[in-house]
């Protein structure tokens, strides 16, 4: 697993995936997240090669659960006799201290803004089905709309204030007109023309990584309808209210369903699903979830809000040593989400362990991330909201000892 930046932020890829990208496109603008004197920094990818190899492969397993498989002549940094040494992988011995970066690199200070109109213009099929609702935009450009052969009844357009986005895409400074985007099949769900990855939206993405999914239903004329869903336990009212408040602040329509002890919130929007899946690259289910690249190039407080949503959904506080101390754990079946989470925590100065395991009765590998250390536990525990209140006394006693 490695982390690269193709222009929109840092994302996790396997070496095989990077090779495939290299086969089909240029890599001149690709940067790789790697260790240097500043901790983590992005460095230009100069060349990628594949070579035949015959010989032994070495798998290095660290005590904190991280591991990597390399050729036996691959250089490895170790700390020995109070100095840093470079040795070959085959020379590493059990008990050697292998170096990993513990500091963060460049701090980003601007919140990422997603231009929804620009992103939709990259998918002609969805663009043709998208309308923009803006009386101001229609009034200002009605002469052009009236002359267009596309509209049989242009005055109906003027009355409703909704126009096909593709027919006004070339309007200068289109973003200056207040507008909302929707498709003909999802008229009740309007999406803003720009989305800022601020604290609320970052937390929403975190909730999605933990509790969200994207489904696809076949509609009439072969047009597919996509829905974004969030599923919580009905008792998780604090988190449910938070998601509802975030969506309401964006004026995004949703419906609620309760079945037994399960609460589901649904958003029917091909546009928002496209942004999640293709721009933010969130994944669609628990197996392919990923941290959006944009989160890695956001300020630290945005990274923290994303992790807050993620941990509220998939995290738990675990009592240890007869309830004398604590740890915080997070589980996921997505390899990319797991390793990206470890790196994101590290960006915030929190070094976590990661372990692979099969839970009883399951054939699916699960990744268990654990946060230890009283300072980290108190810091992260507060992200979980009311859930943390039940553990404050244990943390206080542990800290006093």
Residue range 2-98 in CATH 2.170.16.10? yes
| Encoded tokens for 12 | 């996790």
Tokens of 155: 């005055």
Question: If you compute the radius of gyration of the chain from its CA atoms, what whole number of angstroms results?
Answer: 24
Q: Dihedral angle at the C-alpha atoms of 28, 33, 37, 38, nearest 10 degrees? A: 110
Listed in order, the ranges of the chain carrying CATH 2.170.16.10 are 2-98
Mean pLDDT of 311-328: 93
- Check pLDDT > 70 for residue 401: no
Sign of CA dihedral 179, 181, 185, 186: negative
**CA nearest neighbour of 343 among 96, 11, 15:** 11
The side-by-side arrangement of strands in the sheet containing 325-332 is 315-320, 325-332, 366-371, 353-357
Distance linking the first and last C-alpha atoms of the chain: 39
Express as a percent the part of the chain with pLDDT over 70: 95
Residue intervals in the chain for CATH 3.10.28.10? 306-400
**350, two tokens:** 């929190």
Q: Which pLDDT score is estimated for 49?
A: 81
Return d(Cα 400, Cα 382) in angstroms, integer: 18
Task: State the average pLDDT for the chain.
Answer: 90
Give this prediction's pTM: 0.91
pLDDT at 103: 60
Is residue 400 over pLDDT 60?
no
The candidate with the shortest Cα–Cα distance to 267, out of 203, 186, 202, is 186
pLDDT of residue 90: 92
pLDDT range class, residue 384, cuts 50, 70, 90: very high
Instruction: Give the mean model confidence (pLDDT) for residues 146-151.
Output: 82
Could you tell me which CATH class the domain 306-400 is placed in? Answer: alpha beta
Return d(Cα 248, Cα 47) in angstroms, integer.
Answer: 47
- Mean pLDDT across the stretch 102-124? 87
With beta carbons less than 8 A apart as the criterion, state whether 55 and 42 touch: no
**For residue 41, what pLDDT is reported?**
80
Asked if 332 and 289 count as a contact pair (C-beta separation under 8 A), the reply is yes
pLDDT of residue 293: 96
Q: How confident is the model at residue 218 (pLDDT cuts 50, 70, 90)?
A: confident
Q: Which of 20-29, 138-147, 159-168, 298-307 shows the highest mean pLDDT?
A: 298-307
Triad 389, 208, 42: Cα angle to 5°: 100
Q: Is the pLDDT of residue 43 over 70?
A: yes
pLDDT at residue 201 in the model: 98
How confident is residue 175, by pLDDT bands cut at 50, 70 and 90? confident
Asked whether residue 220 carries a pLDDT value surpassing 90, the answer given is no
Please write the tens of the pLDDT for every residue from 236-280: 999 999 999 999 999 999 999 999 999 999 999 999 999 999 999
Pick 53 or 232 by higher pLDDT: 232
């Amino acid at each position: 697993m490695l982390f690269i930046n193709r222009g929109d932020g840092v994302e996790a890829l396997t070496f095989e995936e990077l090779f495939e990208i290299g086969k089909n496109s240029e890599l001149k603008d690709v940067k790789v997240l790697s260790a240097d004197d500043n901790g983590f920094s992005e460095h230009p990818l100069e060349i990628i090669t594949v070579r035949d190899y015959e010989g032994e492969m070495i798998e290095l397993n660290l005590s904190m659960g991280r591991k990597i498989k390399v050729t036996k002549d691959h250089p490895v940094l170790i700390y020995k006799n109070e100095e840093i040494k470079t040795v070959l992988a085959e020379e590493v011995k059990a008990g050697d201290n292998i170096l990993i970066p513990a500091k963060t690199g460049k701090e980003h200070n601007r919140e990422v803004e997603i231009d929804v109109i620009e992103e939709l213009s990259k998918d002609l099929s969805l663009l043709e089905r998208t309308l923009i609702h803006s009386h101001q935009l229609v009034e200002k450009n009605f002469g052009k709309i009236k002359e267009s052969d596309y509209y049989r009844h242009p005055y109906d357009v003027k009355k409703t204030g909704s126009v096909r986005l593709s027919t006004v895409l070339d309007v200068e400074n289109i973003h200056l007109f207040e507008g909302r985007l929707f498709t003909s099949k999802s008229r009740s769900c309007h999406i803003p023309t720009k989305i800022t990855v601020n604290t609320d939206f970052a937390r929403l993405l975190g909730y999605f990584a933990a509790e969200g999914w994207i489904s696809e239903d076949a509609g009439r004329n072969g047009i597919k309808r996509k829905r974004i869903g969030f599923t919580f336990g009905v008792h998780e009212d604090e988190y449910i209210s938070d998601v509802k408040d975030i969506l309401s602040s964006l004026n995004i329509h949703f419906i609620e369903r309760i079945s037994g002890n399960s609460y589901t919130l649904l958003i029917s929007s091909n546009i928002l699903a496209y942004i999640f899946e293709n721009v933010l690259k969130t994944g669609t289910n628990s197996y392919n979830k990923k941290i959006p690249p944009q989160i890695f190039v956001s300020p630290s407080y945005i990274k923290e809000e994303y992790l807050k949503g993620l941990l509220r959904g998939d995290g738990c506080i675990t009592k240890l040593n007869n309830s004398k101390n604590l740890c915080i754990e997070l589980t996921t079946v997505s390899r990319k989400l797991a390793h990206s989470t470890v790196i994101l925590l590290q960006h915030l100065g929190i070094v976590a362990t990661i372990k692979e395991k099969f839970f009883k009765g399951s054939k699916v590998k699960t990744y268990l991330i654990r946060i230890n250390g009283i300072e980290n536990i108190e810091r992260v525990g507060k992200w979980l909201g009311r859930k943390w209140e039940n553990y404050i006394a244990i943390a206080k006693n542990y800290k006093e000892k």
